[in-house]
Chains A and B, each alone.
Chain A
Amino acid sequence: MFYREAGDFKTTYKADQAIFPIALDRWFVVTVVLVFLVVVPLLASNYMLESILTPVLILSIAAIGLNILTGYAGQLSLGTGGFMATGAYMAYKISTAFPGLNIVFVLIAAGLCAALVGIAFGVPSLRIKGFYLAVTTLAAQFFLLWLFTRVPWFVNNSISGVPTAPPRKVFGFLVSSADSDPIDRYLFVFIITVVLALVAKNLARSRIGRMWMAIRDMDIAAEIIGIRPLTSKLTAFAISSFYCGIAGALWSFAYINTVEPTAFDINRSFEILFMVIIGGLGSILGSFLGAAFIFLFPILLNVMPGWFGLEISVTLVTQVELMVFGGMMIFFLIVEPHGLARLWSIGKEKLRLWPFPH
């Protein structure tokens, strides 16, 4: 009986509507945030910070973005990479055009550009659903990448076509480009991730979140109780793309240090979709779990045999990776559409009863 919600009575609706209504959850979240904010930067190696934690956090933002669109609003999208690319290229354009502009505002502006593009490609969703919508978002993916590779304006006519991200500071700390300290970069990304995750959670538990879920669960009934499909679908596309845009910009600025199309190709779209499915459709926590799992699993698969003194060929590792991912996708799609997040809450339920079996 370590995890309790009984005995944690809410006497007001205000308390019941708190972002984490159960006291233990609240403390858990606060603790996790503090650990990642204070302890991790002190203890973690540079490799850990810049090559693992930073990308996982950025991918989590993109996964939250796609989760808003697919998990909450029920609109399948394969254009995530394209929306991320929009954010990255627009952040590059804006930041080089206005070098004095604080990177935080650059990110917001880039996110807004991605949101506009998201709205434009979301318009077909008013007419078509499911598989056909997925195909149009796939078209968005290819069109956007084609646009950014073909039009030299987006890279300020750089000869290589792959410009480096400009060095930018926040409160005097360099957070982008290769010269920046991994700790600063990590903290910058971490704080943005926490803010965006909290905002997503707030949206999900407000009117707009209920509108999205209503459209997802039964669009006709939603329309009949007064929800306009136009506004709810397009806001989902806009906000989802805003998140993806910021993720794309951070990927270029705070992780790979270059603005390049291959980082945002169709594989990226599928990767984020897998994260959302494995992590849990319609769950913010799931977006983090999915991103961490998909990113870390191949790495673990590579290093783990070494811990046990085993030699495993790279090709075998790739095969195993594909098999495990494929198997998990099928498992989660058929058996547990709420993904790892659901397994987590089942675990909590068990913990509530532990050590008693029932």
Chain B
Amino acid sequence: MTTRTTPCAGSEAAETEVILDLDDISLSFGGVQALESISFDIRRHEIRAIIGPNGAGKSSMLNVINGFYHPQKGTITYEGVVVKAMKPYHAATRGIARTFQNIALFKGMSTLDNIMTGRVNHMHAGLLAQALYIGKNRREEIRNREFVETIIDFLEIQAIRNTPVGRLPYGLQKRVELGRALAAEPKLLLLDEPMAGMNLEEKQDMSRFMLDINEQYGTTIALIEHDMAVVMELSSRIVVLDYGRKLADGKPDEIRHNKDVIEAYLGVAN
């Protein structure tokens, strides 16, 4: 595994070990080259941003990381182990959780049940215990319910605990989806545009949650976000993609002043 020596750019920035290393990843769909020889790494405990214009391949990158897409070329090393053709549920059991660009909640279930579902890998009661709701299952249901309640408190969604998520406004749905991902107690949390379509206040809440998650639980976060102010504020390092290629990689300050990036991306935005 290639351990790069780029200094970790986090504000308080003690350099931590690499949790995920992507080396020379290429992915294509028929004729469309979504990712082309992309290499970068994510260090434990950092907030790593992935930015780039529409169609740059950001979501595809996350899909590669959690085993939803399998790249034609390249190596993925997660916690020091090379992972090959991993299924999404394997990624989940290994501590990778994510949210989606288009909300992917379980519409027919309540907020509570959605977040409880995020606990599947922490529950092990057998079929009989579940059928009779006794012993291990009863204890597990209560213990995990307690854990889920701490998440509900943390995200300040107590009032919608029993509401079917299909009836919730967009901003709250995004929050519930984050709660479901957190319920898994992930080591690596992949967030695909968690603030898209939110107003300023909602964005501030979401930023606060991300910082708290990162600090309190020590969760590593990979974040896709279009709002530059948010990205610059939150992330320790940023990788910039454009048309499936890596354009730049570095601390927020470096990215801000990078010529290529300004031309290809920020220039358009400003």
**Chain A residues near B (Cβ < 8 Å):** 13-14, 16-17, 19, 199, 202-203, 205-208, 210-211, 213-214, 216-218, 220-228, 235, 282
Question: Could you say which of B76-84, B120-128, B196-204, B234-242 contacts chain A?
Answer: B120-128
**A211 CB contact (under 8 Å) in B100, B120, B131, B141:** B120
Interface residues of B (CB under 8 A from A): 66, 68, 87-89, 91-93, 97-98, 100, 104-109, 113, 116-121, 123, 125, 127, 130-133, 137-138, 140-142, 145-146, 149, 180-181, 184
* B130–A214 CB distance below 8 A: no
What are 18 pairs between A and B in contact, CB < 8 Å? A13-B149, A19-B133, A202-B130, A203-B131, A206-B141, A207-B130, A207-B137, A210-B109, A211-B120, A217-B106, A217-B108, A218-B106, A221-B100, A223-B87, A223-B89, A226-B121, A227-B89, A228-B89
**4 additional contacts (CB under 8 A) given A217-B109, A221-B104:** A13-B149, A16-B145, A202-B130, A224-B88
**CB <8 Å contact, A224 and B92:** yes
Which residues of the partner chain B approach A207 to less than 8 Å between Cβ atoms?
Answer: 119-120, 123, 125, 130, 137, 140
Contact A282 B108 (CB under 8 A): yes
B84 CB → nearest A CB, Å: 18
Assess the B145–A13 pair: CB atoms within 8 A.
yes
Q: Give the chain B neighbours of A214 by CB distance below 8 A.
A: 106, 109, 117
Complex CA gap A76/B163 in Å reads 26
* List of A residues within 8 angstroms of B121 by Cβ: 226
Q: Do B109 and A13 touch across chains, with their CB atoms under 8 A apart?
A: no
Residue contact A199 to B131, C-beta cutoff 8 Å: yes
Provide the bound-state CA to CA distance between A312 and B99, in Å: 61
Please determine whether B127 and A208 come into contact, CB atoms closer than 8 angstroms.
yes
Output the residue of B107, B131, B137, B180 with the most chain A CB within 10 A: B131
Could you tell me the distance between the alpha carbons of A14 and B104 in the complex, rounded to whole angstroms?
Answer: 29
Contact present for A211 and B117 (CB under 8 Å)? yes
B113 touching A213, Cβ below 8 Å: yes
**Which residues of A are found within 8 Å of B180, using beta-carbon distances?**
225
B97 touches A202 (CB 8 A): no
